[in-house]
């Protein structure tokens, strides 16, 4: 049975369980996992769908496997929340491509995969703004754009990924419309696709965006300030009134079509100069889709530019931590009153309590980094990284004609070092919770050299 686009429009991407094991015995392939609808009274779903290439290959209504491990992690979960389903053994080499959905009375939920990963792909390395906190402004833009041949090579990555983000150091909407349409066409409707934009060109691509509202589920608009005085400093080359008008136009056009997606999410990088505006951003989010994305400025050293009005070090909120935390907590309470979901993304910082007065966020061990196994970040100039938290490129995916790190010797070495709690060269001074600015003891004889584009240019 082939599944239509409408099937996926009713999918709730809320956490609902895992597809976490498989067995091949006597030519019978059995896959299994568990599911609990935490958003629906901790109930068990009614039906399971196994999909391959948007076609249903198996279904089941049986949840009859006791999962003690799930019960320990989630005491509220029913014990018999596990399932097993037999499928044709021809799929034994295609497990990465399977999608599993469970059905309730009101929604379809997609299960996480035990090996599902996050894919971030830079469609364009060109940008129409010159934001002073952007590493590409500091190091230079590479100005490359993905070709159709590049997208053909990346397509298997899209097929296997759980979440996909079109993001990098350029503006996605500077890509030619036909090329962006081609990129959208490579991604199954079942995926959670989002992209970041500065919003200046949204009005020129509204039809393209809405025509591809699946797989496109979220558009995150980087704004940083709602002040007429501060916005042009932080978003140099942009115009606040244009961005706000474009966001409004997109929402109105979506409503006129009666579409649910894409959800529009404002974004701000939290700085000393703008953290008092968090409440204003919550108000903005409440006029859109009641979601707000926050990110703290990367805690890196020696980033100040004598020729810029933007003093990087002074903009770190850790230098004003007490008042910032007070403002943040008050703002988060206000968000609850307004019904706005606020979440933190990227950088070392999070909503967690600081472990010291100089560090915002929770420090973790290097070996806990999950990006080593599920991160795939590709830039349009060929850089392959496991994440974008100020890491250097591991290899050139364009020159090697390869986007699979398991097939690259250096990538395998990096994964091995991280697993052994060692910081590889590529991760030296990264601003993530696992490295948090520490240096690597590794000296590389051979480096992947890129002249411009992103944090990696500073170490290559």
Condensed to tens digits (0 to 9), the pLDDT of residues 215-260 reads 999 999 999 999 999 999 999 999 999 999 999 999 999 999 999 8
Return the top range by mean pLDDT from 1-15, 265-279, 297-311: 265-279
Domains and their CATH numbers in the chain = 5-113 (2.60.40.10), 118-344 (3.20.20.70), 366-458 (no CATH)
pLDDT: is 236 or 304 the higher one? 236
Encode the chain in three state secondary structure.
CECCHHHHHCEECCCCEEEEEEEEECCEEEEEEEECEHHHCCECCCEEEEEECCEEEEEECCCCECCHHHHHHCCCCCCCCEEEEEECHHHCCCHHHEEEEEECCCCEEECEECCCCEEEECCECCCCCCCCCCHHHHHCCCCCECCHHHHHHHHHHHHHCCEEEECCCCCHHHCCHHHHHHHHHCCCCCCEEEEEECCCCHHHCHHHHHHCCCCEEEEEEECCCCCCCCHHHHCCCCCHHHHHHHHHHHHHHHHHHCCCCCEEEEEEEECCCCHHHHHHHHHHHHCCCCEEEEEECCCCCCCCCCCCCCCCHHHCHHHHHHHHHHHHHHHHHHHHHHCCEEEECCCCCCCCCCCECCECCCCCCHHHCCHHHHEEEECCCCEEECCCCCCCCCEEHHHHCCCCHHHCHHHHHHHHHHHCCCCCHHHCCCCCCCCCCCCCCCCCCCCCCCCCCCHHHHCC
Q: What is the pLDDT of residue 300?
A: 62
Average pLDDT over residues 414-420: 94
pLDDT band, residue 436 (cuts 50/70/90):
confident
User: At residue 305, does pLDDT exceed 80?
Assistant: no
Average pLDDT over residues 37-45: 87
Average pLDDT over residues 180-186: 95
Q: What is the pLDDT of residue 103?
A: 87
Compute the mean pLDDT over every residue in the chain, rounded to the nearest whole number.
86
In angstroms, the CA 227 to CA 244 distance is 12
Return the top range by mean pLDDT from 303-312, 355-364, 434-443, 447-456: 434-443
Long-range CB contact pairs, 419-425, < 8 A, 24+: 419/367, 419/372, 420/367, 421/365, 421/366, 421/367, 422/366, 423/366, 425/392, 425/459
Q: What is the pLDDT of residue 48?
A: 92
Q: What is the pLDDT of residue 355?
A: 44
pLDDT band, residue 112 (cuts 50/70/90):
confident
In the sheet that holds 118-121, the strands lie side by side as 341-344, 291-296, 263-270, 216-222, 192-197, 163-166, 118-121, 375-378, 383-385, 395-396
- Number of residues assigned to the chain: 460
Q: What is the pLDDT of residue 455?
A: 44
Two tokens at 127? 């940008």
Q: What is the pLDDT of residue 310?
A: 79
pLDDT single digits (tens) 252-296? 999 999 998 999 999 999 999 999 999 999 999 999 999 999 988
Q: What is the pLDDT of residue 358?
A: 45
User: At residue 361, does pLDDT exceed 60?
Assistant: no
pLDDT: is 254 or 2 the higher one? 254
Two tokens at 323? 């008042």
Least confident of 268-282, 406-420, 425-439: 425-439
Two tokens at 187? 């991604």
Q: What is the pLDDT of residue 302?
A: 52
Q: What is the pLDDT of residue 372?
A: 86
Return the top range by mean pLDDT from 46-60, 156-170, 212-226, 375-389: 212-226
Average pLDDT over residues 390-397: 88
pLDDT: is 83 or 312 the higher one? 83
User: At residue 459, does pLDDT exceed 90?
Assistant: no
Q: Return the exposure string of 190-203: e unless at least 16 CB atoms fall within 10 Å of the residue's CB, then b.
A: bbbbbbbbbbbbbb
């Amino acid at each position: 049975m082939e599944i239509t686009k409408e099937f996926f429009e009713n999918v709730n991407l809320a956490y609902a369980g895992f597809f976490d094991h498989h067995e091949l015995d006597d030519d019978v392939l059995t896959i299994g996992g568990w599911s609990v609808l935490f958003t629906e009274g901790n109930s068990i779903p009614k039906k399971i769908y196994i999909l391959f290439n948007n076609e249903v290959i198996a279904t089941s209504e049986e949840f009859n496997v006791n999962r003690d491990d799930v019960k320990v992690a989630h005491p509220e979960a029913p014990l018999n929340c596990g399932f097993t389903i037999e499928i044709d053994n021809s799929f034994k080499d295609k497990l990465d491509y399977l999608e599993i959905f469970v059905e309730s009375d009101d929604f379809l939920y997609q299960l996480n995969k035990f090996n599902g990963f996050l894919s971030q792909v830079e469609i364009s390395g060109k940008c129409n703004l010159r934001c002073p906190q952007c590493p590409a402004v500091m190091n230079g833009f590479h100005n490359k754009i993905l070709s159709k041949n590049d997208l053909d090579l990346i397509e298997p990555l899209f097929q296997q990924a759980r979440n996909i983000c079109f993001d990098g150091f350029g503006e996605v909407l500077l890509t030619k419309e036909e090329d962006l349409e081609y990129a959208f066409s490579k991604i199954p409707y079942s995926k959670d696709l989002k992209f970041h934009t500065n919003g200046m060109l949204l009005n020129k691509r509204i039809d393209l965006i809405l025509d591809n509202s699946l797989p496109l589920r979220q558009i995150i608009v980087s704004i940083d300030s709602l002040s007429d005085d501060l916005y042009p400093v932080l978003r140099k080359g942009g115009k606040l009134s244009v961005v706000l008008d474009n966001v409004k136009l997109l929402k109105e056009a979506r409503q006129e079509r009666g579409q649910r997606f894409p959800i529009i999410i404002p974004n701000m990088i939290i700085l000393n100069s703008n953290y008092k505006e968090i409440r204003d951003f919550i108000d903005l989010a409440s006029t859109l889709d009641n979601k707000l994305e926050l990110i703290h400025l990367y805690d890196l050293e020696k980033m100040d530019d004598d020729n810029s009005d933007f003093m990087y070090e002074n903009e770190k909120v850790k230098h004003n931590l007490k008042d910032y935390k007070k403002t943040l907590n008050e703002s988060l309470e206000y968000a609850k009153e307004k019904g706005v979901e606020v979440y933190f993304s990227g950088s070392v910082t999070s909503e967690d309590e600081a472990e010291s007065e100089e560090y915002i966020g929770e420090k973790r061990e290097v070996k806990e980094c999950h990006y080593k196994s599920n991160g795939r970040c590709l830039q349009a100039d060929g850089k392959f990284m496991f994440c974008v938290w100020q890491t250097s490129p591991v290899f050139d995916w364009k020159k090697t004609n390869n986007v699979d790190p398991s097939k690259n010797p250096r990538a395998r070495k990096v994964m091995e070092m991280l697993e052994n709690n060692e910081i590889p060269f590529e991760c030296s001074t990264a601003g993530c919770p696992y490295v948090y600015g520490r240096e690597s003891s590794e000296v590389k004889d051979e480096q992947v050299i890129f002249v411009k584009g992103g944090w990696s240019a500073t170490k290559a």
